Amino acid sequence: MTLSHIALQNLRRRPGKTILLFLTFAFIVATISSLTILAWGMQKQLQESLANYGANVVISPRAEHLTLSYGGLSVSGVEYEVKKLEAEVVEKITQLLGKEVIIGPKVIGLKASPRQDYMIIGLDFGQELKMKPWWTIEGKQPEDEQVVLGFQVAKGLQLGVGDTLDLGERKLPIVGVMAETGGSEDQGVFTTIKTARNLLGIVSEWSLIELNAANPAQVVANLKPELPMANVTEVTQLVEGAKEKVERFNSFSYTISWTMGLIGALVVIVTLAGNVNARLRELGVLRAIGFRRAHILTVLGLEAALTSLTGSFFGYLFGMLIPLGLGPFLGYKDIVFAPQPGLGMGLVFASLLVGLGAIIYPGWRVLKMDLQEALKYS
């Protein structure tokens, strides 16, 4: 019988303690790997969102609650709400900035239909593709009374180029389908500005204006005083809240990972030391029948290695799946299954070191203990 067979038999004879060690390694590794993978995924998604946005300045309507002063008296509680940008805003931006920026005005709104509500997006495709050259359309750009479907809309409706989109009182031909972007574009129905105005009943105002400028910070500084009734925001400012959220989660995940790692290591050390102490008589008998001290240490090491390797391996596999469920809960719906072999190998190797390291002291005691003294333990 080999030493490895003896180690396996020992693990089988103590299922309770073996399962406890297995679950300890699995739980700790699953926690660390899931938090780390989720943190990496959130950071990657944030970077991609910023890099792929295209526009670097966004102008949107402002809704404010104002306190008016009239005749020296303060009149509070007056609501003044602006839902659309005035038609003249685009002309004013052009006059102020000239041709140094790409201007992408949009008309956006929900259109109810018998089948579902659609997000209608009216835009100038020529300008839009200058800002977002990665947009790919299967088919062609829409003309008036034609539409291009976002990827998810086309997939959900099972419609494609040549089909017709039923909007109730209007049925518009589908001349293109957007390639998947992973962004909100996938949920939109694109058309010309004129057609969007007709569908949504928006006469001349704008829902949103995006700009691409060489110096976005300077553009924001120039436009804010000229457009007091609009929010003029640099895209980096838009993602600042998301960036802070990611940084807080990163800090949280690192803290939890280190804490769980230390607690797990202590649990393993105490458990393995207790196992060895409880088996002193058994180990003494092995020495009495001819086992060398090196053989006993090898058996103990194999038991620790088998438990740590299997527990950490299955813990890592489970940890890779957790972000798929936890990501959407935290508002990151695009977190995908992303194996991290380097992380997995590192965690498994660290678990092995903890398992082997945990038997150094109790193993040293076995080596130093007199045979007769070991046989006295019951």
The SS3 call for residue 364 is helix
The SS3 call for residue 209 is strand
The residue from 164, 199, 228 where one domain ends is 228
SS (H, E, C) 87-127: CHHHHHHHHHHHHHEEEEEEEEEEECCCCCCEEEEEECHHH
Residues 219 and 274 in one domain: no
Residues 216 and 256 in one domain: no
| 178 contacts 136 by C-beta, under 8 angstroms | yes
Residues 250 and 357 in one domain: yes
Whether the pLDDT of residue 77 is over 70: the answer is: no
Instruction: Dig out the tokens for 192 from the structure.
Output: 């010309």
Instruction: Identify whether 11 is part of a domain.
Output: yes
For the segment 241-245, the average pLDDT, to the nearest whole number, is: 67
Residues 147 and 38 in one domain: no
Instruction: Identify whether 63 is part of a domain.
Output: no
Residues 201 and 256 in one domain: no
Beta pairing class for 164-166 and 73-81: unpaired
Residues 106 and 193 in one domain: yes
Mean pLDDT of the chain: 79
Instruction: Identify whether 247 is part of a domain.
Output: yes
Which of 69-73, 143-147, 323-327 holds the top average pLDDT?
Answer: 143-147
Beta pairing class for 147-149 and 137-139: unpaired
Instruction: Dig out the tokens for 188 from the structure.
Output: 């939109």
The whole-number pLDDT of residue 176 equals 95
Residues 46 and 101 in one domain: no
Range of the domain at 167: 83-228
The whole-number pLDDT of residue 71 equals 33
Residues 255 and 208 in one domain: no
Residue 141: pLDDT band by 50, 70, 90 thresholds?
very high
The model's pLDDT over 346-370, given as tens digits with 9 standing for 90+, comes to 999 999 998 888 887 777 776 666 5
The pTM score is 0.52
The residue from 169, 199, 228 where one domain ends is 228
